[in-house]
Amino acid sequence: MSVYLDHAATTPVRPEILQSYLEQLQVIGNPSSVHGAGQKARRSLEDARDKLALAVGCHRSEVLFTSGGTESDNLAIRGLFLSRTLSNPDCNIIITAGTEHHAGLDQVEHLDANENAEAIWAELDHRGVINLEWLEKFLNENASRVALISIMWVNNETGLIHPMKEISALAAQHGIPVHTDAVAAFGHVPLSFKDSGVTTMALSGHKLGAPVGIGALIVARDAKMAVTSHGGGQERGLRSGTLSAPLATIFADAAELAVAELDEFTARLESFKNKIVAAIQETAPDAIFSRGDAPGFVGIVHFTFPGCNGDSLLFLLDSAGIAVSTGSACRAGVTEASHVLMAMGRTQEQARGSLRISLGYSTTVDDVDAFIQAFPAAYQGALKAGLPSK
C-alpha cells in the first residue's frame, strides 16, 4: 500500500496534461530566436501567458515566467527593496512574518544581515493570524521608512489564509508595495491578482499538477522593481534566461484546470478534512489543530501532539505506507523544530510534535480511510517513544 498525503510539498503531474507536455517536448525552438522554429515556441509561450493571466486574474503583460516559487520570491523581495532603498536609504524596513516560507524568509534575513534592510516581524496571534490593528498603527507611525510588506497568502504548513486584501489596502494608503507568496494558495483558494491589490505575487507549478521547474512572478504593470537577474533581458528585463515553452504550457494548462475545478475540489477536500480531523481528535483528544478557527485552506490539516515527536509519527506512518510531513525544516540532514509554530508562540517541544496531512486533486476516499486506519497505531507508537532528549 502506498498513500500520498503530502501534496503541500509537491503534487503529481495531472494525467490529463501529461501527454500534451510530452508532445510539446518534441518541438524544437528557443522562444527568443527569430526563425520559424523559434517563433513557434514563442507562440506557445505567449499562449501559455494568456491562459495563466486569465487563471490568476491579471493582465498578460504582468505574467513573468520563472523556475518556481523560490526564484519568484527572491526576485520580488530583493527587486522591490532595492528599488525603494536605492533612492532613499532610510526607506529600508521590510515587514514580514516569522511564519513565512523560507523562500521569502531567508531573502529578508539576508537583506537584513547584508544590505541595510531592517526586518520587522509582524505581530501574530496564537493561530498565526497577522494583527491588522498592529499593522495599521505601525504604518501610520513609520510609513516613510517601510520599503515593502511581504506576507504569504496561504501558509504552507498550517494552511492559514492571511487577509491579503486588508493588508494591501492598509499599505496602499501609504504607497507601500506588497509582495505575497501565493504558492500554497493558487488553484487551492479563490484568488485574483487584480482584486487583491498586491504588487507582486509568486506562483509555482508543481503545487497544482505541473512538473517541478516552472513558476511565475506576477508583477503589476506600475510596479517599480530593480533588476536583479541580468542576461538576455527576457520577461520585461526582470528575469533573464531562456524560457521553456513546454513547461510554461503545462503550467498554464494545470492552472486552468485547477481554477475551473476549484468549487468541486474544495467541497471534496473539505469532506476529507472533516473526516481526518474527527479521527485524529477521537484518537488524540489533546491534539491541537494548529490554525484553530482561523480561515484556512481545507487541503492542509496540521496538528500538534503533546508528548509526541512529529518525526516518530511521520516514520511510523511511512512504515505503514502513508506519506505525510511534519512541516519542519530539514537542513543538512538536521531536523529542526518548526519555525512556523515557534513564530506562533509555541514552545520548541510543541513545535517538534507536529504533523501535516495535505490533500490534493488526486486524493481519494481510500487514501483518507487508509490514513485513518493507520493513525491510531502510529500515534500510540509515537507516544510510547516519547520526546527526544534535548
Active site residues: 330
23-35 b/e with 16+ CB inside 10 Å = b?
A: ebeeeebebeeee
Distance CA 315, CA 149 (A): 38
DSSP 143: G
DSSP class of residue 207 equals G
- Any residues with CB less than 8 A from the CB of 227 and at least 6 apart, and which? 79, 237, 238
Cell numbers linked to 16: 490529463
Grid cell digits, residue 23: 508532445
What CA–CA distance (Å, rounded) separates 217 from 110? 20
Q: Would you state the cell numbers that stand for residue 81, as one nine-digit string?
A: 527593496
The DSSP output letter for 206 is: G
CA 265 to chain centre: 18
Dig out the grid coordinates for 156 from the structure. 504552507
Q: Are strands 300-304 and 354-358 parallel, antiparallel or unpaired?
A: antiparallel
3-state secondary structure at position 382: helix
DSSP characters for 111-131? HHHHSS-EEEEPPB-TT--B-
Query: Under a CB-based contact definition with an 8 Å cutoff, are residues 179 and 202 in contact?
Result: yes
Among 134, 114, 115, CA closest to 123:
134
